[in-house]
A = this chain, B = another copy of it.
Amino acid sequence: MKAIVPFKVVNVKSRLASLLTPEERSELAKLMLRDITSTLAAAGVEVELLTTQPFEWDGATVIVSEKELNPALNDYLLANDSPVMIVMADIPLITEKNVRDMLASPADIVICPGRGGGTNVQLIRRPDKYHVDYYGASFMDHMRIAQENGLTTEVFDSFNVSSDIDEAGDLIELYIHGKGDAAKYLRSITVLDDSKGRVRVVKEESNLRAVRIPGKMTG
């Protein structure tokens, strides 16, 4: 089984910019990718990366396409006769067991929802009879495309796989549940804050700044 992982090389994870610097976002994105590709490899899956510009990655073939995500992936499906997985690069909680459980499903299309209507992993046994349509409520679109092409589907029910790290509010899942290098890195540069209702991840500096109001310090 092969998996293709789309990975953005420049201005990585821009929606985390409210909390993390460009260097931190780049480092976190690479560690998430490393956790995910290692997990796929451990489950016996051969990894290919899809990028928009040349990039080196140990243990993976890099496919460069200047096209947008959907046409680039649909080109890839057209060029493949055998089953293939499409795995998003921001789901660092995915485990080897998750991958093996998906591989064990007999469905033509195994689809793992992301939060908010997205699609985080697809296992596509019939790439010749399928195409993808990411963005927006892609989960519904993918279920419809499978149905229109007479393909059987299984919705894979996993908190790990559904937890894509896209916005700052998502980092809490990686901080609390992560076991890989991306989680270790995140925990080294942020702290938990449960002072405002929902628990979230913040920079320690910003907490200190909030406390250190000049002339208001005591003790």
Contacts and interface: CB of A to CB of B under 8 A. Distances in A.
Contact of A160 (B137, B157, B172): B157
A123 B15 CA distance: 37
Identical copies in the complex: 2
Interface string A132-163: 00001101100000000000000101111110
Contact of A172 (B116, B157, B177): B116
A117 interface: yes
Interface in A106-147: 112-113, 115-117, 136-137, 139-140
A161 B98 CA distance: 16
A192 B95 CA distance: 32
A54 B208 CA distance: 46
A198 interface: yes
A143 to B, nearest CB: 10
Contacts of A115: 115, 173
Interface residues of A, number: 28
A5 B159 CA distance: 22
Contacts of A98: 157
A199 interface: yes
A35 B98 CA distance: 27
Given A117-B199, A157-B158, A162-B162, A140 B194 contact: no
A117 B172 contact: yes
A1 interface: no
A159 B140 CA distance: 16
B159 A116 contact: no
Given A112-B159, A159-B159, 5 more contacts: A115-B173, A116-B172, A157-B158, A158-B158, A162-B162
9 closest Cβ pairs, A-B complex: A159-B162, A117-B199, A136-B194, A137-B199, A116-B198, A117-B176, A157-B159, A157-B158, A157-B160
23 contacts: A113-B176, A113-B177, A115-B115, A116-B173, A116-B199, A116-B200, A117-B172, A117-B192, A136-B194, A136-B199, A137-B176, A137-B192, A137-B199, A139-B176, A140-B176, A157-B158, A157-B160, A158-B158, A158-B159, A159-B159, A159-B161, A159-B162, A162-B162
